[in-house]
Structure 1
Amino acid sequence: MKADVFRQTGWRGVRAKLFHGYFLLSRPMTFGVRAIVHDRNGHKVFLIRHTYVPGWHLPGGGVEKGETAFQALARELAEEGNLQLVAPPLLRSLHFNRHASPRDHVALFLVEDFRQHAAKIADHEIAEAGFFAMDDLPEMTTPGTRRRLAEAFDGAPISEYW
């Protein structure tokens, strides 16, 4: 699969650049959280497809001013998947996401104790969301997402870059 497929073009690209531009102006460094939400029954992971960037991603987003990483993760999981943490998540790794911006860092958590009170319905931010078997991920799963899953479940070395 060619990396160009994941390039943000057209209105989605403009929208993404404006979004990141706002954060560059409002924060000297951006810090985000992502989660590998792992359903041990069936060995499935939760992925989302945004309305404004191509591909399937791990759920997550930016840590807001005055918010802890755990609070941001809980908020993002609720917003993007109707998911509720039942136990504290495990911090797996930290990554420099140079593709998003030259100042973006992401904390990756493993979530295995959770509850989903309802399937996620598409909205203005999330086009689709759901659980996928590890051996049957959507074709458009992003390279970064595939790398994080390989690090978590296949013993691949953890990269400091997203």
Structure 2
Amino acid sequence: MSASPGSGVRRNLLPRLRGRLFHLWFLLSRPMTLGVRGAVFDRESNSVLLIRHTYVPGWQLPGGGVEAGEHMLQALERELMEEANIELTDAPELKSLHFNRQASRRDHVALFLVTQYRRLGDKKPDREIAEAAFFPLDALPEGTTPATLRRLAELFGGEVAGAEW
């Protein structure tokens, strides 16, 4: 018996289709979110950039979510510009990756150390950012978030990076 025309195509198509459907199901059932934060550090003044949002309390490192189709560095560049008028002039250093249980069961945050940058003027308050300013590491503002304090202790105080944000 000879195989019917197209049966080989069906045999090859079915596993590929099944693989694509499984991949789609996996993406829909197990979505992971990724965010970036930048510790923008001024060596001369031993200070770090912090921002204060209009919709959540506390001072924190600038950053935000990585959009679909966007690389982490692109997201960091975009967020630093949007939140603080900071332009990267060289590649930042990826320092750690953290699970952010407070955001969701699937959220992770990549922390970058930024030492090569250009400030393009003061950040004016808008609907998202109330303030953006540099603070000396030994004089952080009241209300600096616990996660921000942990990250700064890891970066500049020799603490071991924690798994959780």
| Structure 1 residue 110 displacement after superposition | 0.1
Q: Which runs of 4+ in 1 moved over 4 A?
A: none
Percent identity of paired positions between Structure 1 and Structure 2? 63
Q: Which residue of 1 aligns with 2:162?
A: 159
Aligned counterpart in structure 2 of residue 88 of structure 1, from 88, 91, 108 = 91
Asked which structure has the greater CA Rg, the reply is: 2
Matches of 1:117 and 1:67, distance apart in 2? 23
Relative to the length of structure 1, the TM-score reads 0.83
Matches within 5 A, 1:27-42: 28-42=31-45
Matches within 5 A, 1:12-51: 28-51=31-54
Q: Which residue of 1 aligns with 2:125?
A: 122
Matches of 1:29 and 1:52, distance apart in 2? 23
Q: 5+ residue gaps in structure 2?
A: 1-27
Matches of 2:126 and 2:164, distance apart in 1? 30
Relative to the length of structure 2, the TM-score reads 0.81
Q: Which residue of 2 aligns with 1:111?
A: 114
Aligned partner of residue 131 in structure 2, secondary structure:
strand
Count of residues in correspondence between the two structures: 137
Q: 5+ residue gaps in structure 1?
A: 1-24
Residue 70 (1) aligns with residue 64 (2): no
| Structure 1 residue 50 displacement after superposition | 0.3
RMSD between aligned alpha carbons?
Answer: 1.1
